[in-house]
Amino acid sequence: MRVVSLVNGSLLSEAASLYAINYARSVQLPLTLLFIDNGEESVEKLHLSVASLKELADAQEVEVETVILQGDMLTQLKHFEQLYAIDTLFCATRKLSQSHSFSEKIVRAGLETAIAVVKIKNLPQVRSYHRVMLAAGKAVNPHAYLLWLGLLADEHSLGKLYLQNSRSASKASTKSGLKYEAAPFVQIAKMLNQSVEVVNSMQPVDPEEINAYLIANNLDLAIYDANAYSQKMLNRITDESSVNSIIFHPWKV
C-alpha cells in the first residue's frame, strides 16, 4: 500500500502534497509523487517542486519515490492504480468550483482507491495547522476518520468531529444517537492521546453556518466526507470558505 500525491510542479499540488506527507507519516506508508506528463506542464518546475517535497518528507522520515508517466492523464492513472495498491490519492483542485475540473474527472473515473481532493485557500495554514474538523454527516466513515486522525496526529492538534443529522431533529434521542455514533471513534482518539471534541448539529446543512463555525472556532483545515453531503453542497461550502479543505471520497467497494 502507498499514499499517492499527484504533482505537476504548481504551488497547489505542492501544498496538497504537504498534507499527503503528513498523512503518509501517520499511517507509516511510503509516498509516491506521481507526475503524468501530458506535455502541458513544465518538467523543470516539477523537479524543483519534487526536490522541495523530498526535503520535507526526509525531515519527517517519510519514504518518497517519484514516478513520471507519459500519456493521457486518466488512462495512465488507471493503469498505475491497477498495478499498485493505493491507500489514498491526493490531488489539488485549482478551480474554485470543482465542476468540470480535472479532480472531478478523477473522482468519476471509478478508481479503486480513496481520493482526497485538496482545495487550498490559505497557504500559511498548509504548513502550520492546529485545529482540524471532520464533517462526517450522520455517520463516521472509518477511512475519512483515519485521514482526519492521521493529519491530527502529525501536528498534535485539536480535532473537531462535526456530526449532522437534521432529519430527526425533532427526536430528542437523536442527539444521544449521534453521540453514540461518535463514541467508539472518540475512544480510539483518546487511546492515541488525541484531543477530540464532538459537535452535534441538528440543523439542516447550511454552507453559511458551517463556514461561520470554521471561522468562529479558528479552524485551519476542514475534511468533508463526500458521501455525507451532496456535491453541490460541498462545492458551495468549500468555494465560500476561507479555510483549506479536503473533500474525501472513500472507496466504495
Partner 1 sequence: MLFKQAPEQVLRSLKSSETGLSHAEVVRRLEAFGPNQIRQKDKKDYRIEYLKEYLSFFPILLEVAAILALVADHYQPGQGNDILAYAVFGAVFLNANFTFWQKFKADKAMEALLKLVKSEAKVIREGQVQTVEASQIVPGDILQLEEGDKVAADAILLSAHDIYLNLSVLNGESTPSARQMEAGEAKRELDAKNMVFAGSSITNGNGHSVVTTTGDATEFGKIARMTAEVVTTQTPIEKEIRHMTTVLTLLALGVGLVFFFLGWFSDRGLLISAIFALSLIVANVPEGQLPTITLSLSLASQRMARRQALIKNLNSVQTLGSATVICTDKTGTLTQNEITARVIHLADGSEVEITGNGYFGSGECQFKKQTSSQSEHRLHEFLTVAALNTNVSLDAVEKKVIGDPTEAALVAAARKCIEVPELEKLKEYAFSTERKLMSTLVKQGDESLLFVKGALESVLPLCDEVQAESIESLTQESRQQIEEQNRKLAEKAYRVLAVAKKSGDGKDQLTFLGLIGMIDPPRKDIKQAVAECYSAHIKVTMITGDNPVTAKAIAEHIGLRVDEVLTGHELDGLSNTALQAKLKHHHLLFARMASAQKLRIARLLQANGEVVAMTGDGVNDSPALKQADIGIAMGSGTDVAKEAADMILLDDNFKSIVAAVEEGRTVYFNIKKLTTYILSSNVPEIVPYVLQFFLKIPMPLSVIQILLIDLGSDQLPGLGLGSEKPEKHIMQRPPMSKDEKILDWEVFKRGYFMNGVFEGLAAMFAFLGFLFLNGWQYGDLSIDSEFHRQAMTMTLLGAITCQMANVFTLRSWEGAIWQLTSINKMIWFGVATEALFILAVLYVPPVQTVFNTATVPLENLWLLVPFPILLVLNHEWYKARQRTKWQRRPSM
Q: Which residues bind partner 1 (CB under 8 A)?
A: 10-12, 14, 49, 52, 94-96, 120-124, 127-128, 208, 211-212, 215-216, 240-243
Shortest spacing between CB 94 and partner 1, in angstroms: 5
Query: Would you state the cell numbers that stand for residue 78, as one nine-digit string?
Result: 488507471
Count of CB atoms situated within 10 Å of the CB of 98 = 20
Shortest spacing between CB 7 and partner 1, in angstroms: 13
Residue in the block written with cell 489539488: 92
- 80 in Cβ contact with 47 (< 8 Å): no
Query: Would you state the cell numbers that stand for residue 33, as one nine-digit string?
Result: 509523487
Shortest spacing between CB 40 and partner 1, in angstroms: 12
Of 168 and 206, which CB lies nearer to partner 1 in the complex structure?
206
- 206 in Cβ contact with 212 (< 8 Å): no
Shortest spacing between CB 104 and partner 1, in angstroms: 15
Alpha helix locations (H) across the chain?
A: 11-27, 43-59, 73-83, 102-108, 124-127, 142-155, 173-191, 207-216, 231-240
Query: Would you state the cell numbers that stand for residue 158, as one nine-digit string?
Result: 485539536
CA distances for 85 relative to 10, 62, 174, 182, angstroms: 26, 18, 38, 29
Of 43 and 215, which CB lies nearer to partner 1 in the complex structure?
215
Of 10 and 227, which CB lies nearer to partner 1 in the complex structure?
10
Of 51 and 192, which CB lies nearer to partner 1 in the complex structure?
51
Shortest spacing between CB 15 and partner 1, in angstroms: 9
Shortest spacing between CB 219 and partner 1, in angstroms: 11
CA distances for 1 relative to 68, 112, 217, angstroms: 19, 12, 35
Of 183 and 215, which CB lies nearer to partner 1 in the complex structure?
215
Of 112 and 208, which CB lies nearer to partner 1 in the complex structure?
208
